[in-house]
Structure formats: C-alpha cells, structure tokens
Homo-oligomer: A and B are copies of this chain.
C-alpha cells in the first residue's frame, strides 16, 4: 500500500468534492467502493485515486484499438460504445458502456467511443490488479463481472447468428432498458435513448437503412415511440413477443 501511495504521488491533484459523482448509483452494481466502505468518496476506489478524470465530448473517440492499456477507465456518466473496426472499414459495436461500467475490453483491441458526453475516471491497471489481489471478496466480484461479460458476449453471438433483424433490434432495446432499470436510470417504460440508428446498426450487424425500416415498422405497430432522444415501450408484452419470436 505504501508503494501504491508513492505511485499516486505524481498524479496528486485537487480532488473534486465527495459529491463529484452524485449520479453514481451504478457503481453499486459492479465493484462499488461505497459498498466496501460506505460513505466514502467514490473517487477513492479502495484507497486508489484515479490517475485521470476526464470529460469527453459526445462523438469523440476515447481510446483507439492499439492504445496501451495501462489504465482502466470507469464510466461515471454518459454512454459510450466499445467497437472493433474491420479491415474493410465497417464497424462492429461489441457493447454499449453505461455509467458504472468498467472498460476492461481493451485486451480485445477495441476502440471506445463516446456517444453522449462522457465523464470517466481512469485507474492504473497495475494498482487495480494489486487491490483486487489483496481482497478476496473484491476478487470474486471481479471474477463475476468478467464472467458476466463473457455471457453477454456469448448471448450476442447467439442473437447475431440465429435471429432476424426485428428480433435483434427489439432485444437490444430490451437489454438496454434492463440495464438502465438496474441502475435506476429508467422511468418506467421510458428511457433516455441517445443512440443514433447507425449505432443500432453496428451493434446488431445490420445497415442503418434497414434499422430505419424496422424501427418505422415498430412505430407503425404501436410497439414503441421514439422522440427527442427518448424511447418508450408502448406495448411491453407485444414488444417482448417480437424479441423472442424464436
């Protein structure tokens, strides 16, 4: 821990107040420092200070595929996407990152792109690893997280391989709604939905043209309503049925 303190020295800066991250409930879902030591400043993760805190404007690339991954970013606010770019220039979004998510995809050589404005904190990955290793319960939480990531990726593989465009898009929306609800960021059947149609397309392996047609169909059938970056599921039962047609 002394060594860690020394490592932190060069990065020391005036910390934001303990309410720097008031909209930080999501941390509770993952590896929440507040869970470990209630009432403590969220920024001080297990006594670790972030090496950097940044606000990234919407649509900006946060990390490119080949960047060194000696820091682990935590998304505190905003939406981001981790993606890979194929040699023909087409992009595949592997997951959307919501507040509370940890960006440890980096080994997969994913780039990370801010969708909305993103506020995030980066921790040194070696410090983080040391902290994990020193605490059995943290380690188990981290393992569960990694496992959950794997399941999510496998679920994605299932969806892409065997489902129609309708199903894929409906499932994506339901997945996001579920994750936002977990975080207390949903308002009943209405969620903030900052994704552009090309994001949906890249996440579902479709084209944005086709996404437009499917979403129009959904609207025509009275399943959902999208306006002003907000999405409402009007017919939850019917929409669920679309998502699980097979």
Contacts and interface: CB of A to CB of B under 8 A. Distances in A.
Contacts of A204: 161
A147 B147 contact: no
A182 to B, nearest CB: 19
Contacts of A139: 133, 139
Contact of A158 (B84, B143, B150): B84
A27 to B, nearest CB: 22
A68 interface: no
Interface stretch (A33-41, A85-93, A116-124, A226-234): A85-93
B136 A136 contact: no
B86 A246 contact: yes
A245 B88 CA distance: 8
A29 interface: no
A237 interface: no
Contact of A162 (B90, B150, B157): B90
A38 B107 CA distance: 31
Given A156-B157, A160-B161, A205-B162, A246 B88 contact: yes
Given A94-B154, A94-B157, 12 more contacts: A84-B158, A88-B245, A90-B162, A90-B246, A92-B161, A92-B162, A105-B154, A108-B150, A108-B151, A146-B150, A160-B160, A161-B204
